Amino acid sequence: MESASVKKKTAPVKVRKRIDPADGILSVVTYLVYTLFAFVCAYPFYYIFINTISSNELSQRGKITFWPKELHLTNYINVSHIPSLLDAFNVSLKRTVVGTFLTVATSAFLGYMFTRETMWKRKIWYRFIVATMYFNAGIIPWFLTMKNLGLYNNFWVYVLPTAVSPFYIVLCKTFVESIPRELTDAAEIDGAGTLRCFFSIILPVIKPILATVAIFTAVAQWNSFQDTLLLVTDQKLYTLQFTLYNYINQASSLKSLVNSTTNASSLAASLAHAANATSIRMTVTIVVVFPILLVYPIFQRFFVKGIMIGAVKG
């Protein structure tokens, strides 16, 4: 018989896993490479930021490289006093929100419809939309089309031309095809129609790909300025990116003025204006980039899953 006393359990012996020297060297090299890559990606934003809070004169002379000097927030105060900046921010925000919503909605619905065999001539329509990914008429026909549609100097020129995106439709269609068909079949047996299946079953399941499309669309809408350059002359419709584009041109003009000035007093005044313009340009750059950086942490957990499952497969 076993003794009544409780026997002490022997603790498991921990075996130290021997690391292969080659694996250790490979890990160190990998960390170094990715650290260098992260530094290369992050340093430009850091460089611009420290120049916005440092002395404008030192910034113009290229003396600010790694650490800020003579800290101040004057540039941000000056930017906040730009009359057109708030209006430009509102336009950029509005086009990003409305444009992203329309693109995500149309991509999700069309991606779902192209998976339904009951859709009339779905293969023809699908190929017709995909073909637009490979053929482009050019800027002049595009400009004339937008103008004939009444979108010249119109806010809707920012959102309607990009409402239907073939690439995003393909992503959503592929994602929907990965969903078990039994889900929609069971709903249809219970009497659910196309729209009911889409809103009640498909939409809750395809959130990862919707978040992925939302990220891509929001970044594209926020960073776009070419449509403003070509189709908008009303200053009330200028975007933040176009405002930054104007400041870049202004800084370039001031730099040319400095290079061509020979008089001492005029040179000093030109240098002061050039330094201020360069600092304001960098400050506007931070103001333009910072809001879109806030989008990534919100949708990051959906991004990898959405792009992998929604990727085009052979």
Closest CA to 25 of 33, 17, 15: 33
DSSP classification of residue 67: S
In a domain, 19, yes or no: no
pTM for this model (two decimals): 0.73
Q: For residue 265, how far is the Cα from the chain centroid?
A: 45
- Residue 40 within a domain: no
In a domain, 253, yes or no: yes
Distance from the Cα of residue 175 to its chain's centroid: 21
Per DSSP, the three-state class of 12 is: coil
Alpha-carbon dihedral 70, 290, 37, 58, rounded to 10 degrees: -20
Check residue 102 and give its pLDDT: 94
User: Residue 130: which CATH number?
Assistant: 1.10.3720.10
Is 2 part of a structural domain of the chain? no
Task: Please check whether residue 39 lies inside any domain of the structure.
Answer: no
Per-residue model confidence (pLDDT) at position 48: 87
Domain count, the chain: 1
Domain assignment present for residue 255? The answer is: yes
Q: Are 175 and 306 in contact (CB under 8 A)?
A: yes
The conformation of residue 298, written as its DSSP 8-state character, comes to H
Report residue 58 as tokens: 């030192």
Cβ contact 279:265 at 8 Å: no
Answer whether residue 239 is part of any domain: yes
Q: In a structure prediction context, what are the per-residue pLDDT tens digits for the chain, which is 314 residues long?
A: 444 444 455 555 555 666 677 777 888 899 999 999 999 988 988 988 888 888 877 877 778 888 888 888 888 887 777 777 788 889 999 999 999 999 999 999 999 999 888 888 888 888 888 888 888 778 888 889 898 988 899 999 999 998 998 999 998 898 888 888 888 888 888 787 888 888 888 888 888 888 889 888 988 898 888 889 889 988 889 988 888 777 767 655 544 544 454 444 443 444 444 456 677 778 878 888 887 777 777 766 666 555 555 444 44
Q: Please tell me the distance from the alpha carbon of residue 285 to that of residue 47, in angstroms, as a whole number.
A: 12
pLDDT of residue 264: 44
- Tell me which residue of 103, 142, 107 sits closest to 222, measured CA to CA: 103
Report the distance separating Cα 250 and Cα 277, nearest Å.
7
CA-based nearest residue to 155, from 105, 87, 256: 87
Q: Are the beta carbons of 201 and 176 closer than 8 angstroms?
A: no
Q: Is residue 52 part of a domain?
A: no
- C-alpha neighbours within 13 Å on the C-beta side of residue 94: 14
Position 15 scores a pLDDT of: 53
Angle, vertex CA 71, rays to CA 70 and CA 76, nearest 5: 130
pLDDT at 45: 87
CB within 8 A of 271, min separation 6: which ones? 57, 60, 258
Question: Are the C-beta atoms of residues 151 and 199 closer than 8 Å to each other?
Answer: no
Helix 207-223 × helix 83-113 angle, to 10°? 150
For tokens 């916005």, what's the residue? 52
What pLDDT, on the 0 to 100 scale, is given for residue 309? 52
Q: Which domain holds residue 81?
A: 76-309
